[in-house]
């Protein structure tokens, strides 16, 4: 069941390794929950943003409207689809 249809991208992956402890599914969720992010991946395909020889990190939009840069060391793998691991 898709609990967050239309709210934001990551909310549509609740139950696929993504939890509401990290991702906002509605505007009433705490402000520190992820709303959207750059494509942050580490894969042999080298698909994603902010890659200069290695994965550098990316920007995260939080439910309270602020945007922060998270370096690679500040992110964690949250989901894997095929050969691609998604981090935030």
With a cut of 60, say whether residue 6 has pLDDT above it: no
Burial of 58 (0-12, 13-18, 19+ CB in 10 A): buried
Instruction: Quick: pLDDT tens for 56-83.
Output: 788 899 999 999 999 888 988 888 877 7
Of residues 51 and 21, the one with the higher pLDDT is: 21
Check residue 72 and give its pLDDT: 81
Check residue 65 and give its pLDDT: 93
Check residue 80 and give its pLDDT: 80
Instruction: Quick: pLDDT tens for 9-45.
Output: 777 777 777 888 888 888 888 999 988 888 777 666 5
Read off the pTM.
0.74
For the chain, the domains span 10-87
């Amino acid at each position: 069941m898709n609990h967050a249809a239309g709210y934001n991208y990551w909310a549509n992956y609740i139950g696929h390794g993504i939890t509401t402890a990290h991702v906002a599914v509605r505007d009433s969720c705490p402000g520190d929950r992820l709303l959207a992010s750059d494509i942050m991946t580490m894969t042999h395909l080298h698909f994603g943003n902010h890659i200069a020889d290695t994965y550098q990190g990316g920007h995260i939009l939080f439910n309270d409207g602020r945007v922060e840069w998270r370096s690679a060391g500040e992110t964690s793998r949250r989901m894997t689809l095929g050969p691609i691991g998604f981090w935030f």
